[in-house]
A and B are shown apart, each in its own frame.
Chain A
Amino acid sequence: MIEEVHPIEKFTRKGMIPHIWCAGCGDGVILSEFLRALDELKMNLDKVVVVSGIGCIGRISGYVNLDGFHTTHGRAIAFAVGLKANRPDLKIVVISGDGDLFAIGGNHFIHAARRNIDMTVICSNNFNYGMTGGQSGPTTILQDRTTTTPYGNIEHPFNLVHLAAASGAVYVARWTTIHVRRIRESIKKALTKKGFTFVEIITPCPEQYGRRNKMPGPKDQSNWLKEKSIIQHFTDPLKAEVGPERIVVGEFVDIEKPEYTDLLRRQTIAIQGRLDQEEKLTNAPL
């Protein structure tokens, strides 16, 4: 008898699966495409660390059979910054949600991007706080309904790719969970590019968001993403909108810029070299 083994099973942590995600949720697509990207890149898995915050997708750092840390709400990037600054040999991937990364953790996102510290941030954007039962968040679409916007959302949402680009990210892409192969390709690009890289993945949340916004079935939001998304590579991130009628996806930024840990290493070597010289002079026999 031939035992059938899922191709990415070796990348998942025994005892943590099945996952907590609902039927129709896109987080599973993100998990599997991230693991396939690692597989295809043949990365040294002992050197990959996944850091996540709080929320449904936040559990991902425990599902992967890698070093993983599940931080307090919003602090995944700050944890990752401290780790990366000291361990440039590690490949650090932050995978978290829109509320975690851009509401409570927004400050850490913009500052990590500003520093251009080498890490990949993958955001599962489902437009709401799913784990707590579907409250509005920083990406909730105008006029959409959530448990805390029962009369419709009157706050303008963040355009995450515009925010990432303006903050200094060197690679910025947006896809939806129906763009399965493109997600993988973008994650691969993000992982191999030095600097702060960002991939936004728009994710259905039928249980908490879809059913309050006339898309109650597990497939309804996916169909909406399929119908309304258009690929416009390297369009101005400012114009890359996400709305009920139009979801602009693609790659928006791919630039070169000196990276933080490289600059840090060079500066430290220079300081120590200068000290070595001075000590040689002071200790020189008269």
Chain B
Amino acid sequence: MLRRDTLSGAHFTQGDIACAEGAIAAGCRFFAGYPITPATEVAEHMARRLPEVGGVYLQMEDEIGSVAAIIGASYGGVKSMTSTSGPGFSLMQENIGLAVMTETPIVIVDVMRGGPSTGQPTKAGQQDVMQAKWGSHGDYEIVALSPSSVQETFDLTVQAFNLAERYRIPVFVMIDELIGHMRERLVIPSPDEIEIINRKKPTVPPDAYNPFQPDKDLVPPMAVFGEGYRFYATGLTHDETGHPQTDSAEEQTKLVRRLCDKIRRNRDAIVQVKKLFLDDAKVCLIAYGSVARSAMAAVTRARKRGIKVGFLGLTTIWPFPDKEIEAVADQVDRIVVAEMNYGQIVREVERRFDYRKITFASKLGEDPHTPEELLTHLARDER
């Protein structure tokens, strides 16, 4: 029997399409978006595919509305996603805060290009990674994943939905343009090999339901609009009943701490890294996204030359893999951080390792770091 929602088998396709297929395989049935390079292919593929699986594609009037629409659909019980690039991601920030505050499971894909402003629409960048953490106002924690291949784009998009549903949060898939537009082999597993997590539903009758009363894991079960629970959600600070509490320091403290802690306390279950030759490494190269591919090639070449280097790839960017970096920091003399920006994640690394022993390899514009360029940074002590 064919499963239209999981196109199991081998494909030759691009990251943007792998992302769309990952979403559909994860159960996404609503996409609202606005065209923007280099994320348009995600929307185009969703427009073609969603009706085939009974889902809805809706082109919104802007990215602000796109996030509002997917929050609305998620409250209607439908797994929902949008995709965009830097300028659209900027417009989305306020409603990302709304999704955090109303604990709405949604997935936002940012196919990163060069900025600031309109920047270089068709060229890759990794300039939105700090915005992903800090873009909306107020204290909050976020989950952001960074794929390094077309296959990983599919896999991480599925995971993004699972994390969003598990913790009732917005989750970001931070693809860079190179991965989004690059074509390579994708193998979609059979449906029974794909883990799907769905949000917790209330187990109490409507009159006993408090929409923001958490279980022990700090996550409240989520009712669906139209099922008789008759509940209310607001972007205002609220108590467990959902009622606004705009004057209470106690309620503000309780809510903000819980929204952050439900992610902080689960960081070990969320954070994923890639490790290569780290066991006896004296130099560690840290990278993510498309740069991780060059990094792995560089480290492999360095090892062939007998240089003791290792690679730490950040599959999860947020919550930040601080423990994993601290573990490496105890054994290495030097860390090299390579990013397609002018210094973002390197600052987080500096908080965990002596900044005087960190080399930052910045790259802006069209081309990512070549393995040879990275090798120069890795082999510096060998001269």
Contact = CB atoms under 8 A, between A and B. Distances in A.
B23 to A, nearest CB: 15
B235 A70 contact: yes
B186 to A, nearest CB: 22
B241 A15 contact: yes
Given A83-B225, A279-B2, A65 B68 contact: no
Interface string B237-267: 0000111100000000000000000000000
Given A83-B72, A85-B58, A45 B232 contact: no
Contacts of A61: 232, 234
A75 B95 contact: yes
A234 B165 CA distance: 49
Interface stretch (B9-17, B48-56, B372-380): B48-56
A89 B232 CA distance: 19
A268 interface: yes
A214 interface: no
B182 interface: no
Interface stretch (B74-82, B269-277, B289-297, B357-365): B74-82
A111 interface: yes
B205 interface: no
A67 B234 CA distance: 11
Counting chain B residues whose Cβ lies within 8 A of the other chain, the interface size class is: 35 or more
B367 interface: no
B98 A108 contact: no
Interface residues of A, number: 44
Nearest to A261: B56
A120 to B, nearest CB: 16
B84 to A, nearest CB: 15
Contacts of A108: 61, 65, 68
Nearest to A79: B72
B229 interface: yes
A82 B230 contact: no
A9 to B, nearest CB: 15
Contact of A81 (B2, B69, B232): B69
B4 interface: yes
Contacts of A69: 72, 75, 102, 225, 232-234
Q: Specify which of A51, A71, A80, A89 lies most central, judged by the most chain B CB atoms within 10 Å of its CB.
A: A71
Nearest to B241: A15
A268 to B, nearest CB: 5
A74 B72 CA distance: 14
B108 interface: no
A264 interface: yes
Interface of B: 2, 4, 29-30, 32, 51-52, 54, 56, 58, 60-62, 64-66, 68-73, 75-78, 80, 94-95, 97-98, 102, 225-236, 241-244
Given A45-B230, A79-B69, A275-B4, 6 more contacts: A70-B232, A71-B68, A75-B68, A78-B72, A87-B76, A107-B61
